[in-house]
Structure formats: structure tokens, C-alpha cells
Structure 1
Amino acid sequence: MSDDLRPTPQPGILDISPYVPGKSGAPGSKVVKLSSNESPLGASPKAIEAFRSVADHLEIYPEGSSKILRTALGEVHGIDPERIVCGNGSDDLLHLLGQCYLGEGDEALMNQYGFSVYPIITRATGASIVKVDATNYAADVDALLAAVTPRTKIVWLDNPNNPTGTYLSDAEVRRLHAGLRHDILLVIDSAYAEYVTAADYSVGLELVGEADNVVMVRTFSKMGLAAARIGWMVGPAHVVDVINRIRGPFNVNLPAQLAGAAATRDVEFTARLNAHNAKWRDWLVSELDGNYMHVVPSQANFVMVLFPDAEHAALAFETLMQRGLIVREIGTSYGIPHGLRISIGSEQAMIGVAGILKALVKTAS
């Protein structure tokens, strides 16, 4: 059939490179997945129990505004639940923000090593994505501000940054915001906030409360509920109103709402996740950072390891894969061909990764 006799997508859609997730291994193979930044301790037992509790009521629609989950988030984080919107993963909310605030001829800015979903969201609206040079693999506030044009409508800021693990302090985020026009929406994507240990970091809640053009987006995926697909956003009342007008009417299923609420209130489990991650993140850095490999300082639940060149990175990836340890290649998706992103996993997994990579160093020297 001729191309002109079938439905065609909007201009630019077929120019978008689809998102490529981290490898998961072959079906039936015994592997340790360290490629998607999932929880090394599984999910909160309370969240699992809450998820199971609704199994006999799957025929009923969930409450449409995710009130159960918004109430729990409000209690634990000290937020007015009316300022919260929940979504089917944080990606759902990021797409909605792009759909509402970007259009043909607009621009969105991002750090050159920012989350690879931002260009997809932006281009799908007909807008252009502008990748701004980073400094030492971190977002550069001065460079971002210098890249602003009259067409700029959104600044995407993942903080900490995926895949580098770098972050901007609260002071730097505020400096970025202060330099933006009031009609530019600053989207602070705090997907890895649960794992940050830096004293000068802020998730962005205070700035959202003070400003009229800032939203903060979070996810439950990194704290044990990736399969449930739960995200949440805090923003000014006028942004919340806009997003609620177009989001799916039942966009968060009931098991996910209950599991998310239980996980939110299980602050002891979240603290255990943070402590485990901090211990083994610091340990892995101390084991790997050297002349052959350089580990970029991270505030997330992963580290980015840089090798002398792309060939050495590929060798490290394949060697780990052969030993049942799957990490994330970041050449194609993020433009760092000589790097690998390694999620923080169990004690056994971290010792295994360190041993294999250190053995490679000996072979190379």
C-alpha cells in the first residue's frame, strides 16, 4: 500500500529515537541486573502487603485523583495534597508537562548528559530540544542560562543527574531559577532524592512553594516499586490545574495507590535503602577509582565508571555480562561511549563487580 493511503504521524515523530532501557538478560538466564537503578533491597514489606490487599477488588475503578496516595505524601513530606498530582510513573507526568507547556517553535533546555526521555518528550510536542554543555559531567548553571532564548519554555533538570550521578546544590538550583524568565517552567526531576547524602542538596519543595514557575517530580521506581509505575508531582496551583485537565481519569491503579501510600509511610525502610546505598556506593568508588578507571562522584543509587576509551568500556561490559552481571552501556543513549553506569546492588553483587573490574585492570597493565 502506498504511504499516502495510510495514517501518517505528526511531522518529526519518526525522527525521534525511541527510549532504550538497560538490558535485562536472556529469559531463563541467571543474572544480576545492575542496569536500571532498581532497589537493591526490594520493596517495603508494608507496600507489598498493601498491594496484595486489593486483589479481591480488581473489578472496581480506583478513585480518580489518587487521594489515598496524595494524602500519604502530604502527611510525610509536609505538602498540601491539593498541590500534588500522581501519575503512571514520573514519565507520565513529564510527558503531560511537555504536552501542556511546549509546542511548535518552542525550545526546551537540558544538560547534555540529562535523562534521555527529555528529548523524546520535547520533540513529540513539535518543540526543539537544546542540549547544553556540562562541566565535569554536571549541569552548568551559567551555560544553561546563556542558552535561554525567547523560544525557551521549559528547562528539564534531573537532580541528581542520570546517568552521571552528579548534582546541583540548593544554592545552584536557586541561582538557575533566579536567572530564568517568569514564563519559563523549571522542571526539577528528583527521581533519586531518596539516595542523596549531600548536606547542601534540596529536593526542590521549598522552591516550588516560593515560586510560580517551578515543579518537582518524583518517582517510586527507585525505592522498590518500579513494576507498579507510580510517580508524583508538586507544583503551583495553576500548573496542577492544567495537568489535571488532561491526565488520564484513572491514571494510577488502585494496587499502586495503596502500595505507594504504604511505602511513603514506611520511612524506616526508606532509611535502610539510603544507608545500604551510601555504604556500598562509597565502597565501590573506593575500590574502582584509579588510573585505569575513574568513578564520577555520585549522589544517586548508581555510579558512572569511565574507562580509557570505548573499547575498554565494551570489554568491561562484556566481561561482566559473561559473569552474570548486567550493567548499563551509555554510549548510544547518553553520548558517553567510554563509560558504564552501574546500579548499587547487594553486597555480593558489588563485591563481584569490583573483583571482575579490578582483574581487568591487572590484565590491561
Structure 2
Amino acid sequence: MTVSRAATVYDVADRAGVSIATVSRVLRSPEAVRPVTRERVLDAVAALGYVPSGSARGLAERRTGVLGLYFPGFDAADDAPALDVLSAGGRAAPPFTVVADGTDADAHTSMLFLDEVLRGAELEAWKQGFVLMVGVGRDDPDRSTVRDMAGRVDGLMVLARSVPDDVLANLARRIPVVVLSGPPRGDHYDHVTVSNAEAMGELTRHVLSQVGDGDVVFLAGPADSPDGEQRREGVTAAVAAAGRAPVDVIRGDFTRASGRRAAEELLRTGVPSALIAANDQMALGALDVFRAGGVRVPQDVLVTGFDGIEATALSVPPLTTIRQPMIELGRAAVQVLARRLEQRDAPPLTARLPLRILLRESSRRAD
């Protein structure tokens, strides 16, 4: 097979009878070029099959046209089965299977928090003319993934506390950084966040109004999660303001499996009147165990979550939750990062997006 030489910008300029600078202007800012000249250049581009070189353009502009989004990986489908499509040696897999009871323990059809944030970032990056590079730092103790990403992107978006402070500060000396979620901590980064404590406090007041003197347990996330700790603070502040004893706290890791483990522990030690979870995945895991153990929700225990993922509307019963603007968080992070690339000396910006408390059957005691 013969491979023809790829057309260059010089070929386009020669065919259109213009300078290479004019070709560049047509491709970058077509509205700045006279229509007749623009059409002549675009005709030459089409005839030659010319594709602009992103690497060459990046060298000239000292830009890559790529934004980075780094996640810690705790919201991954941690209990998904291993997939190996090569070991079958070419043998065809069965086209389908039948599950007698209609359940599927390996299903991961609901959109998780980070899935939605990623979806929003992808959409906005495309609109802004950037490519999005995604890195997941699971099992990455030395943060080699994010260090490698930083050398390949124009700017970086990271989930709060997913990168050690010293590593993040070092990266920020090279490229702009936007921190997603968690409160600003006297740093000089741009932030995109939500009011975790305030919304969780309001949800807690609702739960207390339903359980009377009943006991409440908080299913917390990891202690190093800023969002999780803000939600814990919202719960404890609301409980203290109500003049009640401090709530018991069980630690999870934001996965559905950790929610199941917490609920199994409560089945052994005593099911509370209400279980407030720091995210939806843990709350859904608790619902799994309570249902299997014959514990009725909400008659025996109220359960609430946080994030507003799709599965909460489909659970049995539908789960009370606080809906984060997940897609908007991703979009806002890209917008803020794009602004920073154009305005390097602008003061740090904190964009705070609104939350919605969705009261559903899982937190409503029958009258």
C-alpha cells in the first residue's frame, strides 16, 4: 500500500495563493478574514485533505489544547468483576444469560457522582475548544499519574484533597489549577464547590422532625474527604442545635460495598431510627442489606443520602437525597480553568453552585 505525503500548510498557502499566516488566521479566526479569501483557503484545505498539526500549533503557542481532570478513584465500581476478553481464545461468549430472580449483583447502571462531573467537563471542554485528559489515581500513592498529566496539559482540575498539598503547590507553579469541591483553605487556587454543611444541616433537621427522640447514626466518608467532613459537620451542628446527644458515626469510603458493611454492623448492634449517609452509594448499600434483613424503610429506619445520582429515584423505597449539580460542577470547572488560562493574574475565584434537597419516601414516617 502506498502512503501519500500529508499536505502541509505551505501546500495550502501555495494552492490558495496566500501566505501561511493567512491560512492560520482562516483556521483559527475565520471571521477575521475576508469572505473571498476565506473561501479560497477552505477550498484548498478540502482539496488537499489538510489536517492542522496540533503539536506544531502547540509549540508555536506554548499550549497543548488539552485540559486535565484528575480523580482519586474512590467512586469507581470497586466490586465490578474482572474483565478479560482475550483469555477465551477466540471462543464466542453466550449472547445472553437469564437471572431467575431478576436481580443483578454486578449491575453498575446508575450514573455515579464522578461520572456526571466528567460528563459535564467533557461537554464544556468540547464547547471551549479543548481536549479533556482524564486521570484516575487509584492505587497511586506517589501521585505519578497526576505528575505525568501536568506535563501534558495546559491546566488541571483536581478533586479537593485528592493530591497532597505539597504536590499540588508544585504543580500549580507550572500550570493553572482548579480545585473541585471542598472549601477554600487560604490557598491561591480557583475553586468550584457547593454548600455541603448547610444543606446537610437542613436535611438533618428534617430527619429529626421525623424520628422524635429516636437515635440517629451518621455514615461518614473517609476522614480526608473535605466534602465528607463538611457533611459530617452539618449533621453534628444540627443535632447539637436541637439539644440532642452527639450522633454515632460509622466510617465508610463512599462505595456501595462500605454501605453494606455498615448496615450489616447495625443489624448486629442495633438498627437506629435513622441512618444519614454522606453519599448515595453508601445509602443504597445500606438499603440492600436492610431489605435483605427484613428491616423496613422507612417504617423501621429512615435512610438518606447525598449526591442525587439516578439510582436514588429508582431504589425501593425512593431515596431521600441532596442533589448536587454534578454536570454543572464539571462544566464550571472547565469554564473557570479556561478563564484562568486567559487571565493569569486575576484574583482567585470561588464558584459556589446550589444544591437541592429531594425529600422522598425513605425519610418520611407514616402519620
Q: Is the TM-score greater than 0.5? A: no
Q: What TM-score do you get using the length of structure 1 for normalisation?
A: 0.30
Q: What TM-score do you get using the length of structure 2 for normalisation?
A: 0.30
Higher-Rg structure is 2
